[in-house]
Amino acid sequence: MKQYLMALDQGTTSSRCVIFDRNGNTVASASKEFTQYFPQVGWVEHDAEEIWQSQLYCAREALKRSGLAPTDIAGIGITNQRETTVVWEKGTGKPICPAIVWQCRRTAARCEALVADGKAEMIREKTGLKPDAYFSATKLEWILTHVEGARERAERGELLFGTVDSFLIYRLTGGSVHATDPSNAARTLLFNIHTMQWDAELLQLFHIPAAMLPKVLPSCGIFGETDTSLLGAPIPVAGVAGDQQAALFGQCCFERGMVKNTYGTGGFLLMNTGDTAVSSESGLLTTVGWQIGDQVTYVLEGSVFVCGAAIQWLRDGLGILGSAAESEALAASVPDTGNVCFVPALTGLGTPYWDPYARGTIVGISRGTTRAHIVRATLEAMALQTVDLLDAMQKDAGADIPALRVDGGACANNLLLQMQSDFSNLPIVRPACIETTALGAANLAGLAVGVFGSLTEIAENIAVERTFTPEMDEAAREKKLLDWHRAVQRAQQWAAD
Ligand code: ADP
């Protein structure tokens, strides 16, 4: 029986392919960066054709390195940068313009107008999201308005829209399948997460012709087969989920109340809320985790914009670090931050503050402050921002969080995870495989094609590499949080005047 699974992990800066065996071990992988385009201040674009080529290259390269035959691969799972918007020709599969990336702020004014127009509540009720330029709808509307002839062609049924998963499925299946999954559809601002359908009122609000939308299929199931010419054999595309939801699945957070945090460029905390779409009072998003059969799992999501990126800034902007990994030893060379507190609001603040006008702020500097104190304060901030997300989540979910599972590049930092445990007073669990995004996509596919018989079988694979437990006393924790919130207040609204 075929036992290997291929994950296509299409990220914001690179495409990756990882091949796993049935026990979740990595057999081979390959990755390739692609071009980032910044045509104007605040605009971010990708070339969808280059994304496809880089992803195909990685799949072929990983397969070659694994020494496996294409017929050994039981199924392909796709996970992807979310919200990024692609429009392509139905006939040729060619994109009609650059893809508008989730980070792109070109439609911010349109979103502010929607809020001023009183649409925010209706949008939140239906989609679980905010009217923000982050999500796909206003990007798609922008393309239909600004690319010559696009609206007429879309209305004639000649153009297709999709997030990156959808575009990859289209290409992988030789143009025969136009589909997406609910975890991606739920990020468009066009999908009603309660009825689990594209929403007519929202399509009208954003002037989107229904004919260009992909079919929404369960995250775990057969979407189609790859065109034989691509990988040498037809392979079922059998699992699809957006990157953060795939990481939650890869962390085996299958039960209601289970939580994971990813420490990447940004930080993303997701909680499984089971079959209930929990509406947030604390600035979290309500979204779909995955759909298996007709069973939908919902999640609450909190995001911090700058997490590991703050370490990048110390390295590349300030030049006080040679590498990201160096931050651990340097921060550990001092016993504390010497009262320095850094709020890394370099691009504003996300959950729970949602303040686009907040800016990075370092307070408490004295004559004795060294770069080690600044670096230590940066790691503390990465943990403290996550405490704010955890607090918001506990409030909304009305339940205590028992433990936090972690992944992402910066979770290699032991000091950071000890701080996280201390500041949040929770056990922090780091799995052996921190490629959780790719693993989640592979496991969704594995469940669909029968490599796994149940979620329980998947969970048997998870191995914990290390657990961090709290060592800080209550008074010190309270003081730390108090100082953090005082510093956040000083960062808020800085750029508003
Ligand atoms: P993404 O997938 O968002 O591009 P990764 O999950 O690869 O990001 O994580 C990379 C981020 O983690 C970078 O911002 C980097 O500065 C940070 N990082 C990597 N290693 C460490 C480390 N040992 N300590 C602190 N931060 C780190």
Q: Kindly indicate the confidence band of residue 355, based on its pLDDT and cuts at 50, 70 and 90.
A: confident
Q: Pick from 13, 14, 82, 265 the residue to mutate for probing ligand 1's pocket: most ligand atoms within 8 Å of its CB.
A: 265
Q: How far apart (Å, rounded) are the C-alpha atoms in residues 458 and 213?
A: 32
Q: For tokens 């469940």, name the residue.
A: 447
List the residue whose alpha carbon is closest to atom 23 of ligand 1: 325
355 half-sphere exposure, CB direction, 13 A CA radius: 20
CB count within 10 Å of CB 70 equals 17
- Are 422 and 477 in contact by the 8 Å Cβ rule? The answer is yes
pTM above 0.75, yes or no: yes
List the residue whose alpha carbon is closest to atom 8 of ligand 1: 264
List the residue whose alpha carbon is closest to atom 17 of ligand 1: 308
Q: Pick from 32, 268, 307, 311 the residue to mutate for probing ligand 1's pocket: most ligand atoms within 8 Å of its CB.
A: 311
Q: How far apart (Å, rounded) are the C-alpha atoms in residues 303 and 138?
A: 20
Q: Kindly indicate the confidence band of residue 356, based on its pLDDT and cuts at 50, 70 and 90.
A: confident
List the residue whose alpha carbon is closest to atom 15 of ligand 1: 308
- Which amino acids bring their CB within 6 angstroms of ligand 1? 11, 13, 264-265, 308-309, 311-312, 324-325, 327-328, 408-410, 412-413
- Check residue 42 and report its DSSP letter: T
46 half-sphere exposure, CB direction, 13 A CA radius: 28
Q: How far apart (Å, rounded) are the C-alpha atoms in residues 117 and 345?
A: 28
Atom of ligand 1 nearest to the CA of 14: 4
CB count within 10 Å of CB 462 equals 17
Task: Please give the distance, rounded to the nearest whole angstrom, from the Cα atom of residue 436 to the centre of ligand 1.
Answer: 14
* 231-271 pLDDT per residue, tens: 999 999 999 999 999 999 999 999 999 999 999 988 999 99
Task: Please give the distance, rounded to the nearest whole angstrom, from the Cα atom of residue 373 to the centre of ligand 1.
Answer: 20
Task: Please give the distance, rounded to the nearest whole angstrom, from the Cα atom of residue 361 to the centre of ligand 1.
Answer: 21
State the chain's mean pLDDT as an integer: 95
Task: Please give the distance, rounded to the nearest whole angstrom, from the Cα atom of residue 211 to the centre of ligand 1.
Answer: 40
* Amino acid identity, position 370: T
* 105-124 pLDDT per residue, tens: 899 899 999 999 999 999 99
Task: Please give the distance, rounded to the nearest whole angstrom, from the Cα atom of residue 380 to the centre of ligand 1.
Answer: 15
Task: Please give the distance, rounded to the nearest whole angstrom, from the Cα atom of residue 56 to the centre of ligand 1.
Answer: 25
Cα distances from 56 to residues 30, 64, 73, 212, 443, in angstroms, run: 11, 12, 15, 25, 20
* 1-30 pLDDT per residue, tens: 678 999 999 998 899 999 999 999 999 999
Task: Please give the distance, rounded to the nearest whole angstrom, from the Cα atom of residue 263 to the centre of ligand 1.
Answer: 7
CATH node for 4-244: 3.30.420.40
Task: Please give the distance, rounded to the nearest whole angstrom, from the Cα atom of residue 410 to the centre of ligand 1.
Answer: 4
More confident residue, 42 or 177: 177
Q: How far apart (Å, rounded) are the C-alpha atoms in residues 492 and 215?
A: 42
* 372-410 pLDDT per residue, tens: 999 999 999 999 999 999 999 999 988 889 999 999 999
Task: Please give the distance, rounded to the nearest whole angstrom, from the Cα atom of residue 413 to the centre of ligand 1.
Answer: 9
Atom of ligand 1 nearest to the CA of 315: 16
